[in-house]
Structure 1
Amino acid sequence: MPSDISHGLVEKMSIAHPEAALQAITQAYAPSKLDVFGTAGDFDLRLHVLRLPGITYGHIQFGTDVRVTALPPSCYVVCFAPTGGVRVAATRTNQQVTGQRGAVLYPHEATFFEDWSPASELVSLRIEDDHLERGLVQLIGHPIREPIRFEAGCDLENAQTASFRRALQLLEAELQNPSALAHDDRGAELLADFVTTSLLLSQPNNYSEMIHKPRKAVPLGAVRAAQELMDADPMSINTVGELANRVHTSVRSLEQGFRTHLDTTPMTYLRRTRLAHAHRELQVAASSNCTVRRIAHRWGFQHLGRFARCYREAFGELPAETLRSGRR
């Protein structure tokens, strides 16, 4: 991903000239070669891209038959075609991708996207290899010894891919209507981690047995250590993966530990802790020089409506009511 492009950015463009289109493809995805085989007058690149930390999600259309030769990228790619169809060929695969039948491509392999019908639209999710590997390590709790190898075909109609489908739906919603979630540093990281974890859990790969192997809950001491970290500085933790790394265990073991010992999850505990801090600050703040929005954002709540609902459930009143009550 180009280093000068910030995360959360949505790009949308329409380009009728192949040379300019190739520059846009290179900027959005990777160095490529573009050959136009259909009617040149029908050529119309339509590109729509969302960027998050470690991942890029986008739609691309050409309006006519082309072949895109992508040089080996340092990322995994999952692609499918909501309309029409595209043939995707790489070292290990040669597949026709459609709306429900996608392909998974590996890093460092040249790939050919060809046989585009005029109505074909390709949707692709690109995950940087180091980002995906970090997500795997957080799931299994120890370093990996070999690269991740997914099954080449991705069946989006399979019940096993339900969580991945939901992740794609969330990306699609952010692409069509960008929200504060993707533009906030913590929100963007959480969204990217959710997508990465969903792919690892849903798409069969050489670590699937290890990922889904039942795990024992971590000892109470590790749970208490995680609690202490969140209590001391709740804004220093953004994901359960970060927390698991800090207490030297896997995500799944830590989550099981919280359910066993506290009947909750690490992220629910973190949200409650941040709510408590926001509550204390609202109690002592002066409404003349402070706002609910400012305090909510300071404690990681970007969506004021959701913050207000959670706050009222926890404290029996709206945050604005606490702020209006003045110093206590």
Structure 2
Amino acid sequence: MKNQLIGHFRDIHVHAATIHEWNQDYSQLTAGSSESSLMQLSTAGCHVFREQINQRVVQQGAAPRGKMCFAVPITVPGSIRMQGREVDDSSLFFLHGGEEFMFHMPTGMELLSITFERELFEQALAQTASPKEVSQLLRQPVIKVSTQRVAGARHRLLAMFTQALMHEELDSTRDREREQALEQAMLDELLQLLTDPACDKQQRTASSTRSFIVEKCHRLATAEMNSVPSVSELCQRLQVSRRTVQNSFRAVAETTPLNYLRSLRLNGVRRTLMSTRASDLSIGDIAAQWGFYHLSHFAAEYHALFAELPSHTARAAIAVCARA
């Protein structure tokens, strides 16, 4: 197998930047030191990774172009929202290549992500008994599958992945045969879940109003970095009550709007610190870019979230793009 990696990280931004092909930001929402694990491998036709993070995280980005992207929850320890839909342990996540996404990942959640080259997946889909029905089903970002079968499929997918990580590369012909066997076995497991008679092919799950409110506030806060709207201003823009906004954040992110929006900005500061040199941009300048103008208050809030002072954050240590 190619590009095998097993890593343990103490920063979610390093973790996110290490995942091959995905263009995404992770923002830590709960306070304390981050600890995470990441195992991944790539073949000619797919990329698979397994991750677990000890903090509540919101992930935002775009799926790799030209791909068909699945994810299987391994553990579901709290409230989860994928594209505004509620998730349980009998769900699959799905994204088309290039599709933007937002995923609220609870503390301690473990996830297996499997991304196929579009052509490879479509060839396998065409061999099933109901390709049109499955294609229709894949318009949904969260798919409820057979509760009787999902546990067994999850176990087998994890076993395949673990075994593949253990193999050392042999000669190129033998290694490609092994890669193809892994790709086909994973395709078979996922397609069997999607074509199972117990899987409702007509299911439609709309994004909740609460998720819409949180996502809209999230995007407004990150779009206006140095002039972040207050909770009251967000209520006015969305034309909803403060109680509605408060309840939405509690249900979706298990925190308050004020803490959520402050955490997003602190994560923005951290990404910028880690992607710039101290000689090019000072801590004060970066803090101001993200709407923090009182340095002592900012330093205390940064330390409370990350268990580290901004002056102790490594500068230009990883290739993370500072995105607004």
After TM superposition, the score normalised by the length of structure 2 is 0.49
Larger Rg: 1
After TM superposition, the score normalised by the length of structure 1 is 0.49
- Which structure carries more relative contact order (alpha carbon 8 Å, separation 6+)? 2
